[in-house]
């Protein structure tokens, strides 16, 4: 049998999704289900002086209205260990526990009714008076503060230095650029809104929740409600897109669980599109300064990158904005600085390529600017500063094929036809530009567990409490299991999304295949060994397998495995790499930008499923196009609210915006990172796309736009 790992197999869960048989969180319907709606704060800071729910309680179908006046006081116990998906410090919103208002849109009440319409109508009847306080709704860099010691322990400290005095080296450099870059606040806008169905029954709590980490939801409910882990089960077999927004357990989950316990019936709480902008996180507004100094031949002498990000007043969200700048290029003198501006807003959260995409935008546009000053090809500048070892900790790479990405990507894209001068290429009246950028993202591996069970009918069920928000976990893990067992795909079923399954860490950060894959393989190896001992079989292809199982008196045979990284994680720098190329056409009369082509060459180790991997990369390209040209929250500083909190005015790419997308994977594997040889890919797909497009726009127009998104008004005045 040829290897299933590496084959472009279609999604095993595809038929269930396209026929509507896949069940998402809001679609579970326990008996007696009721419906909830949130009452939100209309001010950004202060306290509630009076709240009147009388009219809401009298409305048709209403079963209960909960506010801080009558909601149960919850323990909100301390963390045994703060989950990796939580902000590095601060305290999560304690929902309905007091009268304090921390941000506009904060949940201040929940209505439970017989129907969704009744609940939403009743929620509109709750009357609230406030005592406003001074609110911090402006992103004011003068108010920025250094990140905390807790952030520093996660590698996100206020300052880091490599080599000598970067500022002095910059001052002495022969050629230099010093510029300011702005990444606006962005929101996820996944197809599936966040939703939770909660049911208490006979002392047991069952939660169906849109989450990327069922175990974390369970642990959070244990901590918040002071109940035992054995009494909580969290289920989530399908996720309709998340990309970081479902890593945390947001306040609406607590509200649903609280409401269900108080009303004595199951409760469904689904956020509206508008509420997604306040009740879950977002990519934070970030402003950066990049100063690069180089010798005339292009070798970097100084790299200074200073970032100021947005966070809430009650939690410290510090992301890896400066990780990519610390590792991408060789430079003898480097200084990075990271500060935060606390604001009266809900807390940001990871969003595809968190931190890395933001840091790379500033860095890669700055590198393009430096290449122009040096009159060097942008690829040549990057090759001359290729890092043979990771500069951050002076460690060898577990693998690094970035130079091959540049070469192969340039050949496929046709980079050689690029003329160096801006405004030198045209297609009819359209200005044509070609741009490129480096993509870099961490490639971690987490501990994971899995089980493999041979059933009496000869099929094998493999389980792990991981998730699948779209990258193809179901399919990739089925391939790994079937390949290990020597079985055809139809005889293997992979199950996930249940906290009763073997433990797994978060489904995020491009960690799943590298983490769950080895656990699945080891569980299958253990199952084969157990079957051999118990049934005397060396393979599962015996024609009388079912008879042998029955004769042996077994209804099933199960094996379990735990897998985790070893010391290699401390001895090597583990990253995935890529080179992104973009072609744009710009209308000189209107300043409109059309991305006609994007091409990416990726170093992601062994590719388990090329079809699904390509899908991840083109999805990242589309997200990067949105980041470059369309996306951005319009923040109302008077109200502390997102003015375009809807899919009509918050612009995202649609099919008509997309040109040709080309993906190639550089051959290789990384056995140091993972026994499967794989490296993280999904986050990498978005990294580098926005700066490649921004650099292409400069090449087409001669206009350097350093604030995203690149909208016509930022170009037309110069054209």
Residue 329 confidence (pLDDT) above 50 = yes
Element (H, E) at 261: helix 251-263
Residue 542 confidence (pLDDT) above 80 = no
Residue 683 is among the residues annotated as catalytic for this protein: yes
Q: Is 229 helix (H, G, I), strand (E, B) or coil?
A: helix
Alpha-carbon gap, residue 277 to 275, rounded angstroms: 5
Alpha-carbon gap, residue 633 to 646, rounded angstroms: 10
Alpha-carbon gap, residue 667 to 672, rounded angstroms: 16
Residue 632 confidence (pLDDT) above 50 = yes
Phi–psi pair at 301, nearest 5 degrees? -105, -30
pLDDT, mean over the chain? 96
Residue 206 confidence (pLDDT) above 60 = yes
Residue 534 confidence (pLDDT) above 70 = yes
Find the Cα–Cα–Cα–Cα dihedral 691, 697, 702, 707, rounded to 10°.
Answer: -50
Alpha-carbon gap, residue 659 to 599, rounded angstroms: 11
pLDDT computed for residue 229 by the predictor: 97
Residue 543 confidence (pLDDT) above 80 = no
Beta bridge partners, 463, equal 451, 495
Alpha-carbon gap, residue 302 to 162, rounded angstroms: 10
Element (H, E) at 404: helix 402-413
Give residue-wise pLDDT tens across range 30-40: 999 999 999 99
pLDDT computed for residue 547 by the predictor: 79
Q: Average pLDDT in the 616-626 region?
A: 97
Residue 18 confidence (pLDDT) above 70 = yes
CATH 3.30.365.10 in the chain is located at: 29-134+190-272, 142-186+282-443+571-716, 446-564
Residue 715 confidence (pLDDT) above 80 = yes
Share of the chain above pLDDT 70, in %: 100
Q: List the one residue out of 198, 196, 187, 190 whose CA is nearest residue 270.
A: 196
Q: List the one residue out of 160, 165, 99, 109 whose CA is nearest residue 132.
A: 99
CA pseudo-torsion sign 362, 368, 371, 376: positive
Q: Is 601 helix (H, G, I), strand (E, B) or coil?
A: strand
Q: Average pLDDT in the 409-427 region?
A: 98
Is the whole-model pTM more than 0.85? yes
Alpha-carbon gap, residue 649 to 665, rounded angstroms: 36
**Cβ neighbours for 70, distance < 8 A, ≥ 6 positions apart:** none
pLDDT computed for residue 11 by the predictor: 97
Asked whether 473 and 439 are in contact (CB, 8 A), the reply is no
The full DSSP string for 41-107 is -SSSSEEEEEEE-HHHHHSTTEEEEEETTTSPPP--PPPSS--TTS-SEE----TTSSSEE-STT-E
Alpha-carbon gap, residue 391 to 595, rounded angstroms: 34
Q: Average pLDDT in the 51-59 region?
A: 98
Q: Average pLDDT in the 170-186 region?
A: 98
The alpha-carbon radius of gyration of the chain (Å, integer) is: 26
Residue 119 confidence (pLDDT) above 90 = yes
Q: List the one residue out of 557, 638, 565, 680 whose CA is nearest residue 137.
A: 638
pLDDT computed for residue 544 by the predictor: 74
142-186+282-443+571-716 CATH: 3.30.365.10
Q: What distance lies between CA 101 and its chain's CA centroid?
A: 28
Q: How confident is the model at residue 2 (pLDDT cuts 50, 70, 90)?
A: low
pLDDT computed for residue 552 by the predictor: 79
Domain covering 29-134+190-272: architecture: 2-Layer Sandwich (3.30)
Give 417's DSSP letter: G
Beta bridge partners, 73, equal none
Q: Average pLDDT in the 150-158 region?
A: 93
Give residue-wise pLDDT tens across range 645-659: 999 999 999 999 999
Q: Average pLDDT in the 242-246 region?
A: 95
Residue 539 confidence (pLDDT) above 80 = no
Alpha-carbon gap, residue 509 to 572, rounded angstroms: 18
Q: What distance lies between CA 162 and its chain's CA centroid?
A: 29
Give residue-wise pLDDT tens across range 474-521: 999 999 999 999 999 999 999 999 999 999 999 999 999 999 999 999
HSE at residue 493, side-chain half, CA atoms within 13 A, is 9
Catalytic pick from 40, 319, 506, 683?
683
Checking DSSP bridges between strand 127-132 and strand 593-603, what pairing results, if any?
unpaired
Asked whether 477 and 462 are in contact (CB, 8 A), the reply is yes
Domain covering 446-564: architecture: 2-Layer Sandwich (3.30)
Give residue-wise pLDDT tens across range 566-613: 999 999 999 999 999 999 999 999 999 999 999 999 999 999 999 999
pLDDT computed for residue 1 by the predictor: 44
């Amino acid at each position: 049998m040829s290897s299933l790992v590496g084959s472009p197999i279609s999604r095993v869960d595809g038929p269930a999704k396209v026929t509507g048989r896949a069940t998402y969180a809001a679609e579970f319907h326990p008996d007696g289900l009721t419906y909830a709606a949130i009452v939100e704060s209309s001010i950004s800071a202060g306290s509630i002086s009076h709240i009147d729910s009388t009219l809401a309680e009298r409305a048709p179908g209403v079963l209960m209205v909960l506010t801080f006046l009558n909601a149960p006081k919850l323990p909100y116990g301390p963390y045994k260990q703060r989950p990796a998906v939580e902000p590095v410090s601060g305290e999560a919103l304690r929902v309905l526990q007091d009268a304090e208002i921390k941000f506009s849109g904060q949940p201040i009440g929940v209505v439970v009714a017989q129907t969704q319409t009744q609940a939403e109508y009743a929620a509109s009847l709750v009357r609230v008076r406030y005592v406003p306080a001074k609110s911090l709704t402006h992103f004011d860099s003068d108010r920025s503060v250094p990140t905390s010691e807790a952030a520093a322990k996660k590698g996100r400290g206020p300052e880091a230095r490599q080599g000598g005095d970067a500022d002095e080296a910059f001052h002495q450099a022969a050629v230099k650029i010093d510029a300011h870059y702005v990444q606006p606040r962005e929101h996820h806008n996944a197809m599936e809104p966040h939703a939770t169905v909660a049911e208490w029954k006979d002392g047991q709590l069952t939660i169906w929740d849109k989450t990327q980490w069922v175990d974390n939801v369970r642990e959070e409910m244990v901590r918040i409600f002071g109940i035992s882990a054995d009494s909580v089960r969290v289920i989530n077999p399908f996720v309709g897109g998340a990309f970081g927004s479902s890593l945390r357990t947001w306040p609406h989950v607590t509200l649903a669980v609280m409401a269900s316990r108080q009303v004595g019936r199951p409760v469904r709480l689904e956020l509206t599109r508008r509420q997604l902008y306040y009740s879950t996180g977002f990519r934070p507004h970030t402003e950066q300064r990049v100063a690069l100094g180089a010798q005339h031949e292009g070798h970097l002498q100084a790299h200074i990158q200073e970032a100021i990000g947005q966070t809430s007043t009650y939690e410290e969200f510090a992301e890896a904005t400066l990780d990519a700048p610390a590792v991408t290029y060789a430079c003898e003198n480097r200084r990075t600085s990271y500060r935060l501006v606390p604001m009266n807003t809900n807390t940001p959260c990871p969003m595809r390529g968190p931190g890395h995409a933001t840091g790379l935008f500033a860095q890669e546009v700055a590198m393009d600017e430096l290449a122009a000053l040096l009159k060097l090809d942008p690829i040549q500048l990057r090759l001359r500063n290729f890092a043979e070892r990771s500069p951050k900790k002076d460690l060898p790479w577990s693998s690094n094929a970035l130079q091959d990405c540049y070469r192969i990507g340039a050949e496929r894209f046709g980079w050689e036809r690029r003329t160096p001068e801006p405004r030198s290429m045209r297609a009819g009246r359209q200005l044509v530009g070609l741009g490129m950028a480096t993509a870099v993202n961490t490639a971690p591996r987490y501990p994971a567990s899995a089980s493999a069970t041979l059933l009496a009918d000869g099929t094998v069920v493999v389980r792990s409490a991981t998730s699948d928000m779209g990258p193809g976990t179901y399919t990739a893990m089925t391939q790994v299991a079937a390949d290990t067992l020597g079985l055809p795909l139809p005889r293997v079923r992979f199950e996930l999304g249940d906290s009763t399954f073997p433990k797994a860490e978060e489904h995020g950060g491009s960690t799943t295949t590298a983490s769950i894959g080895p656990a699945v393989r080891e569980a299958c190896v253990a199952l084969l060994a157990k079957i051999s001992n118990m049934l005397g079989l060396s393979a599962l292809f015996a024609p009388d397998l079912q008879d042998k199982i029955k004769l042996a008196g077994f209804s099933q045979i199960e094996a379990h495995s735990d897998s985790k990284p070893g010391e290699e994680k401390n001895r090597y720098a583990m990253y995935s790499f890529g080179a992104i190329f973009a072609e744009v056409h710009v209308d000189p009369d209107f300043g409109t930008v059309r991305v006609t082509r994007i091409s990416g060459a990726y170093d992601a180790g062994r590719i388990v499923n090329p079809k699904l991997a390509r899908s991840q990369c083109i999805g990242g390209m589309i997200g990067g196009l949105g980041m470059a040209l369309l996306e951005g929250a319009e923040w109302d500083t008077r109200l502390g609210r997102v003015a375009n909190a809807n899919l009509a005015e918050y612009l995202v790419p649609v099919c008509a915006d997309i040109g040709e997308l080309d993906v190639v994977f550089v051959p290789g594997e990384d056995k140091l990172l993972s026994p499967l040889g794989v490296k993280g890919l999904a986050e990498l797909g978005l990294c580098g796309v926005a700066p490649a497009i921004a650099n292409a726009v400069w090449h087409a127009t001669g206009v350097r736009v350093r604030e995203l998104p690149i909208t016509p008004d930022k170009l037309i005045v110069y054209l």
